A and B are shown apart, each in its own frame.
With several copies, the nearest count.
Chain A
Amino acid sequence: MPDIDIATPLAPASAKTMLHGLRGFFLPHRIAMALIALAALAAMIAYMDWSWLPAYLPRLWSGLGMTMIMLVASVGIGFLFALPLGLAQVAGPWPLRWMSLGFCTVVRGTPLLLQMWLFYFGLGSLFAQFPEIRESWAWPYLRQAWPYGLIALTVSFAAYEGEVMRGAFAGVPAGELEAARAFGMSRGKTFRRVWFPRALHRALPTLAGEIILQLKSTPLVATITVTDLYAVITRVRQSTFLTYEPLLFLVAVYLCLSGALTIFLRWMENRIPSGG
């Protein structure tokens, strides 16, 4: 087939209309939805107990900072690992292929909580047994909890995203790669100029989801004593014994983060109208 076109015939430029031009935002049903949302928000503010908020605000901020650092760093580094992991499974020589397959399978196959626990309580307390390490410059970092949390999160994201990239790489039509090869592009160049951008574009809709999942995995670092946003919220809940308000606050923050992420990635996706 000569070309791939992902725009579907019945829904021309669906998401584009959502983002392009303010006109799209003022359709009647959107105004209605916005009003309902505002009303709900107002009701929450009016009828619920938010007196704890000012006292905890500084801690919430630093918790949010920790969450963002964990998220951005693990997604960024994890993605760099995901590319070779996905590619090796599609096009690598067999030892690499099996190694990356094994890695992805084991990591995806076991709970992140368990991995985190193994890194922190297993690996971490192993380090503590060696006086050489305890005396070294690294000990102030190694006795902290966040490096283990970051490693666990990164490994997990690399494995999950590696699987997605595997599918995306495999899905790029052979003809387009052949064209690149026929023009004498090296393997690296074929990858950079054709294979990777096409695969990335395919993976984008899923990528947003994976990053949001990762956002929701970050609270697990609380179990190894890293104080992220969720840990602060837990703390609020446990000292105020309010059931819903702190959670709703958490939801609001997560909503903003993932909303921004979704819009950003959707924009990337639509930048190339005909990609696929």
Chain B
Amino acid sequence: MAEFGDCADGDQMDDQAAIHVEDLHKRFGSMEVLKGVSLTARPGDVVAVIGGSGSGKSTMLRCINLLETPTSGRISIQGEAYDLRTTRSGDLEIADRQQVQRIRAHLGMVFQSFNLWPHRTVLGNVTEVPVHVLGVSREEADARAKAVLERVGLGDKLDAWPAQLSGGQQQRAAIARVLAVEPLAMLFDEPTSALDPELVGEVLSVIRALAEEKRTMILVTHEMAFARDVATHVVYLKDGRIEEQGPPEQIFGAPSSPHLQQFISSVT
């Protein structure tokens, strides 16, 4: 199992880290949403991020693949730091688009609101990236997509349009879309919010299998039981700061921060 620490761990650790975030700040207008978040995940780690609504979990994930440019901070993926430059107004901006693109291709993301492409069928959504970004052949991509969709239980919805899917089916399609890409690291934003307990168990086993292949995952979740079962490491975010982190046993068994204690006690 991996060790976790924050930014101070030095370079040697960084090299091995799959995802490394250092002193991340993000503000929207006058509101500071992230107030210095640091986080490291090594290959095979499953980091669960928990925290109240609006605490900045989604924003953090979106910063990691630079969908949101941080106000300040350093992010590196597989040891490679994003090349950001400071604009005249003092914000950061992307300096090297190619690099960002290259990194993103190895970083899968499941969105909180799924964001399926409505103009492609389920199968089309899943084969899109393999065929058009990774250059996999159409047949191979189709076969792989079918297998992945089968695995999430959508084998009979290949030709359905996203608008015809139930909420859970959309979420599973979004998960399948990421799995088909086989990225080295994955960001899941509440990947089980629309799923029933059976399917949650399914997703859990998928994530475990991925972790065994040494893929790295950061997942935001509201289901504490799920976090406890799946995570190698749990991070509790509170108002844009990491208030507590550690292995799940510690976080759920012996939380030290009073906020976290209250947060966990409210699990009904």
Contacts and interface: CB of A to CB of B under 8 A. Distances in A.
A and B touch in the complex (CB under 8 A): yes
Interface of A: 1-5, 7, 9, 175-176, 178-187, 189, 193-194, 197-198, 201, 272-276
A7 B163 contact: yes
Q: Which 7 A-B pairs have the closest CB atoms?
A: A184-B105, A184-B104, A274-B163, A274-B161, A5-B163, A179-B115, A175-B115
Interface of B: 65, 67, 97-98, 101-109, 111, 113-119, 128-129, 132-133, 161-164, 167, 170, 177, 181
A181 B104 contact: yes
Contacts of A185: 101, 129, 132-133
A275 B113 contact: no
Contacts of B67: 9, 178, 181-182
Given A179-B117, A274-B164, 10 more contacts: A1-B113, A3-B116, A3-B162, A5-B118, A175-B111, A179-B109, A183-B109, A194-B117, A197-B119, A198-B117
Given A2-B113, A176-B115, A183 B108 contact: yes
14 contacts: A3-B162, A3-B163, A176-B115, A182-B107, A182-B111, A183-B129, A184-B102, A185-B129, A185-B132, A198-B117, A198-B118, A201-B119, A274-B118, A274-B119
A171 to B, nearest CB: 12
Nearest to B119: A275
A78 B245 CA distance: 59
From A9, A189, A274, name the one whose CB has the most chain B CB atoms within 10 angstroms. A274
Contacts of A187: 97
Given A181-B104, A182-B65, A185-B132, A1 B161 contact: no
B170 A2 contact: yes
Nearest to A9: B67
Contacts of B119: 194, 197-198, 201, 272, 274-275
Contacts of A176: 115-118
